[in-house]
Amino acid sequence: MSTLHANIKPLKTTIFPSKSVLSPKQTLIRCSAASTPKRYNITLLPGDGIGPEVVSVAKNVLSLVGSQQGIEFGFQEMPVGGAALDLVGVPLPEETLLVAKQSDAILLGAIGGYKWDKNEKHLKPETGLLQLRAGLGVFANLRPATVLPQLVDSSTLKKEVAEGVDLMVVRELTGGIYFGQPRGFSKTEKGEEIGFNTEVYATYEIDRIARVAFETARKRRGKLCSVDKANVLEASMLWRKRVMLMASDYPDVELTHMYVDNAAMQLIRDPKQFDTIVTNNIFGDILSDEASMLTGSIGMLASASLGESGPGLFEPIHGSAPDIAGQDKANPLATVLSVAMLLRYGLEEEYAARTIENAVLETLNKGFRTGDIFSSGKKLVGCKEIGEEVMKSVDSQQKASAIVS
């Protein structure tokens, strides 16, 4: 990470600035409620490719919901990934991490692109994301995979298999084989080159992710499936042991265990059997991507990364899609739904979160679709227009609420 650089100056979040003119990267959202509003600082990390487009839409939706529900947001936009590489030569500037740590929540767009594919590892955009997660101390990645009734035909599975799927993958994010030591390259006695990595977990790493998973399952349908490879791997044997010990603290949650190879098959064969899944870093990386495709489009899927303290990181799971960047073709709904997760898990603003989720459903009910989820008989729209439709749906909920009250 860089030292302070002239091109990146830490921005001060101000709810009521002394002057009416705000800096280009700093935005004031003023609430119309008469009572003293809640105030939150949000760090925006648009990133690369379609990231700036989808974050812009999500920010507008968040701002509107806040103005209607007595919540003020101060926004600070900072560079990360390829954008930061182009600006200061590193994928995660120190200033970006500092601002993120001082905020109440972070919204990330997307990271990466063909432009930086040949960079050395420490200069790849994705390295910035790993550094960001480590710097924030987020260890629990929550990825919902829900097949919406409006999009069930977009799934590659048979309708009777996909219909009604609603599951959550809780992935351990900062341990396991992606971070374990020793790792590297070496040579055998015969001079043959080898590459090696280490799958390692400490009890505290397993315990904290298991607790998040049990708590998540408790708030959903009360079923938790722990996925491991305990018939082969010692790290998985410890994993299963610790998860089973914690189960006594959650008698209201039904705990089952499944080997990862079987879990991969069952996600395709009968995905409705799952409610909440908890698993390690590498298994979670694979299974959450598999689960995402049950829905028919990764353009609809949000995620949250949480730690024991400090702000959470919220982002769509899709990539930067550089081939459609700047063409108003991106689907921003995953980022909008990430904002809903930000409100629910990051700020504990449940009503605001549901408002956004309901607005997305209403927009889909009206037949609006971006290209990735388009089907015959629906209205094809771009990134900005579908964002505007979501905001209209937010407004309609507010008007309906006012009439009822």
Residues 16-48: pLDDT tens digits? 232 333 333 444 443 444 456 799 999 999 999
Residues 114-126: pLDDT tens digits? 999 999 999 999 9
- Position 31 in a domain: no
Rounded to an integer, the average pLDDT of 256-267 is 98
Question: Is residue 289 annotated as part of the catalytic site, yes or no?
Answer: yes
Q: Which of 246, 275, 296 is the last residue of a domain?
A: 296
Q: Which of 86, 249, 261, 270 is catalytic?
A: 261
Which is it for strands 312-316 and 193-196: parallel, antiparallel or unpaired?
A: unpaired
User: Is the bond preceding 79 in cis, omega lying within 30 degrees of 0?
Assistant: no
Question: Is residue 249 annotated as part of the catalytic site, yes or no?
Answer: no
Question: Is residue 178 annotated as part of the catalytic site, yes or no?
Answer: yes
Q: Which of 229, 275, 345, 372 is catalytic?
A: 229
Residues 316-341: pLDDT tens digits? 999 999 999 999 999 999 999 999 99
- Find the range with the poorest average confidence among 128-137, 167-176, 287-296: 287-296
Which pLDDT value is given to residue 259?
98
Asked whether residue 369 falls in the same domain as residue 388, the answer is yes
Asked whether residue 188 falls in the same domain as residue 223, the answer is yes
Q: Which of 48, 104, 275, 285 is catalytic?
A: 285
Residue 7 confidence (pLDDT) above 80:
no
Asked whether residue 192 falls in the same domain as residue 212, the answer is yes
Q: What's the domain count of the chain?
A: 2
Which pLDDT value is given to residue 404?
58
Q: Which of 296, 327, 352 is the last residue of a domain?
A: 296
Q: Which of 166, 207, 289, 328 is catalytic?
A: 289
- Position 392 in a domain: yes
Q: Contact 294/271 with Cβ under 8 angstroms?
A: yes
Asked whether residue 292 falls in the same domain as residue 158, the answer is yes
- The H or E element that residue 26 is part of is strand 26-28
Which pLDDT value is given to residue 9?
47
Asked whether residue 164 falls in the same domain as residue 287, the answer is yes
**What global pTM score does this model have?**
0.84
Residue 191 confidence (pLDDT) above 50:
yes
Q: Which of 178, 223, 259, 328 is catalytic?
A: 178
- Position 280 in a domain: yes
Question: Is residue 204 annotated as part of the catalytic site, yes or no?
Answer: no
Q: Which of 261, 279, 296 is the last residue of a domain?
A: 296
Query: What's the per-residue H, E or C state across 330-347?
Result: CCCHHHHHHHHHHHHHHC
Which CATH number do you get for residue 357? 3.40.718.10
Residue 151: both structure tokens together? 């999009």
Q: Which domain holds residue 182?
A: 152-296
Identify the three-state secondary structure at position 181: coil
Residue 3 confidence (pLDDT) above 80:
no
Asked whether residue 178 falls in the same domain as residue 282, the answer is yes
Asked whether residue 160 falls in the same domain as residue 97, the answer is no
Question: Is residue 9 annotated as part of the catalytic site, yes or no?
Answer: no
Asked whether residue 274 falls in the same domain as residue 156, the answer is yes
- Position 333 in a domain: yes
